Amino acid sequence: MVREQTTWIGVRVGDCLIEDRIADGRFSSVYRGTKLAGSSRKAFKVAKSSDVTDPGAGRSQWATAALTIFEGGVTPVRPDSHQILAFQGHKLEACNDPALPTVEEMVSGEGLSYFRMEFLPGQSLRQLLRLGQASIKTFLEIARALARLHENPAFGYHGDLKPDNILVSPSGVRLLDPGYFGKLDCQEGRDLTCAITTPGYYPFMEPDDLFALGIMLWESVCRQHPLVGTGDSRAEKVTAKLQSWVQSYENVGQYFLSPILRLRRPSELVPGIPPEVEQVLLTGMRLSLDQTGRLERAPGFQRFTDLAESLEPLLGWHVNGSQ
């Protein structure tokens, strides 16, 4: 196989037969294959051709997008998907961590880039959230894995943490599809500084994994994303300091954080929530309450180990509100 395939289903790749497409992203697709000898399963991640990626779709706050920041705003671009796949494959290979999928082979040629990796059974965190089956234990495991990974020089950051990219497997959590922050060749220009990420979980347009996990924890307990843009719009719910913080991003054309000004505190969204749970959620969002109960900007957790230590006493409380 030396040319890009329009479909991989039914194609033989080395000693594997591709049987099904199991995921389809903005810049790549993932296929499942079975080894012809031994019947073990493998996953193949394949870069998409640039003519089938849609830069306009990058305006969605909930999908992984390629964005570049310019003076006065953020705009979607169309990057070289082969470069993105190569970055992901080499990063996964270099890290060699049990929380990341194992890359077994990488192939890069003219019009064709893919890597083969272990096939991982399980459910995404998104699926578990929809079923009401996510737990504090799962988030604790994620925090511990990220604490370890952030000490690995080959990792640096994940950059695109979201419930869809976290697999809860029988062998533990796996963090899939890392994002990218740096220079890429795009149809709009060479060596553009890009962010390959999901704005709804990285509203600062920085590889802030700790804030992304804080957003997911809030989303899990309160059953709504904290940046959906709904809720009470009255200014008295937040302090002037918090408004100023958000406005500093709006002044440079970045509005992904703006809905935080309409956020309601967890105890209003989930009546009966234990105070210690509400405190962890607020700290994860880098918020606190002032003396009048208004939302205020706060330092938040500084390390994943700090978040993990705060989650440990909450293990007896179900993340969706029941014991």
**Which residue blocks in the chain are alpha helix, DSSP H?**
81-95, 125-131, 136-149, 209-222, 240-250, 266-269, 275-284, 304-311
DSSP assigned state of 16 = E
Residue found by looking up tokens 């002032």 in the block? 290
Residue 260 pLDDT exceeds 90: yes
In three-state secondary structure terms, 21 is: strand
Q: Kind and range of the H or E element at 69?
A: strand 65-70
pLDDT of amino acid 241: 94
Q: How far is CA 54 from CA 34, 47, 76, 187, in A?
A: 31, 14, 9, 12
User: What does the alpha-carbon distance between residue 200 and residue 175 come to, in Å, rounded to a whole number?
Assistant: 18
Q: What is the pTM of this model?
A: 0.92
244, 247, 180: which is closest to 207 by C-alpha? 180
Class of domain 12-314: mainly alpha
> In the predicted model, what is the mean pLDDT of residues 312-323?
72
- 108: pLDDT strictly greater than 90: no
Span 143-153, average pLDDT: 97
pLDDT tens digit sequence for 156-171: 999 999 999 999 998 8
| Distance between CA atoms of residues 193 and 207, nearest Å | 13
